[in-house]
Amino acid sequence: MIKTDNLYVDFGDSRNLLKTIPDESVKLVVTSPPYNIGKPYGKYKDKIPLNEWKELISEVTKEIYRILTPDGSFFLNLSPVPFGEEKEILPLPYIGYDIMKSVGFYIRNIITWTFNNMQNCVQRLSGRYENIVWGVKSLQNYVFNLDEVRIPYITQNDKRLEGGSGRNPTDVWYFNRVNNMTKGKLGLSHPTVYPIEMIERIIKMSSNLNDTVLDPFLGSGTTVVAALKLGRKGIGFELDQTYESEILKRIKTEATNIQPSLFDLINKSKRDGN
Ligand SMILES: C[S@@+](CC[C@H](N)C(=O)[O-])C[C@H]1O[C@@H](n2cnc3c(N)ncnc32)[C@H](O)[C@@H]1O
How far is the first Cα of the chain from the last one, in angstroms, to the nearest whole number?
14
Could you identify the atom of ligand 1 that is nearest to the CA of residue 196? 8
For ligand 1, say whether the CB of 79 is within 6 Å of any of its atoms: no
Q: What is the CATH number of the domain that holds 243?
A: 3.40.50.150
What distance in Å separates the CA atoms of residue 103 and residue 234, rounded to the nearest whole number? Answer: 24
What is the tens place of the pLDDT at every residue in 86-104? 899 999 999 999 999 999 9
**Interval between CA 48 and ligand 1 midpoint (Å):** 14
Q: Which residue's C-alpha comes closest to atom 17 of ligand 1?
A: 239
Residue nearest to atom 5 of ligand 1 (CA): 219
Q: Rounded to the nearest whole angstrom, what is the distance from the C-alpha of residue 53 to the centroid of ligand 1? A: 13
Whether the pLDDT of residue 268 is over 80: the answer is: no
3-state secondary structure the chain: CEECCCEEEEECCHHHHHHHCCCCCEEEEEECCCCCCCCECCCCECCCCHHHHHHHHHHHHHHHHHHEEEEEEEEEEECEEEECCCCEEEEHHHHHHHHHHHHCCEEEEEEEEECCCCCCCCCCCCCCEEEEEEEECCCCCCCCCHHHCCECCCCCCCHHHCCCCCECCCCEEECCCCCHHHHHHHCCCCCCCCCHHHHHHHHHHHCCCCCEEEECCCCCCHHHHHHHHCCCEEEEEECCHHHHHHHHHHHHHHCCCCCHHHHHHHHHHHHCCC
Tens of pLDDT, residue by residue over 193-210, are: 999 999 999 999 999 999
CB atoms within 10 A of CB 237: 24
| Amino acid identity for residue 170 in this structure | T
Q: What average pLDDT does this structure show over 207-230?
A: 97
Instruction: Please report the pLDDT score of residue 234 as a whole number.
Output: 97
pLDDT of residue 267: 60
Whether 77 is in the pocket of ligand 1, judged by its Cβ within 6 Å, is no
Question: Which residues on adjacent β-strands are paired with residue 106?
Answer: 136
Q: Distance (Å, rounded) from C-alpha 13 to C-alpha 11? A: 7
What domain range is 162 assigned to? 2-272
* β-strand partners of 89: 82
Residue 48 has what pLDDT? 82
Residue 213 has pLDDT above 70, yes or no: yes
Residue among 239, 240, 246 to mutate when testing ligand 1 (max atoms within 8 A of CB): 239
Q: CA angle, 66 as apex, 25 and 12 as ends, to 5°?
A: 85
Averaged pLDDT score across all residues of the chain? 91
Q: Which pLDDT tens digit goes with each residue over 147-168?
A: 999 999 888 777 777 777 899 9
Closest C-alpha residue for ligand 1 atom 13: 217
Cα(220) to centroid(ligand 1), Å? 8
pLDDT confidence of residue 170: 97
State residue 156's pLDDT score.
74
For residue 260, pLDDT beyond 60: no
Q: Is the dihedral of CA 261, 9, 246, 214 positive or negative?
A: negative
Of 236, 142, 245, 254, the C-alpha closest to 197 is 254
Q: How many domains does the chain fold into?
A: 1
Atom of ligand 1 nearest to the CA of 13: 20
What pLDDT, on a 0 to 100 scale, did the predictor assign at position 182?
86
Q: What's the confidence (pLDDT) of residue 183?
A: 86
- Cβ(20)–Cβ(246) under 8 Å? no
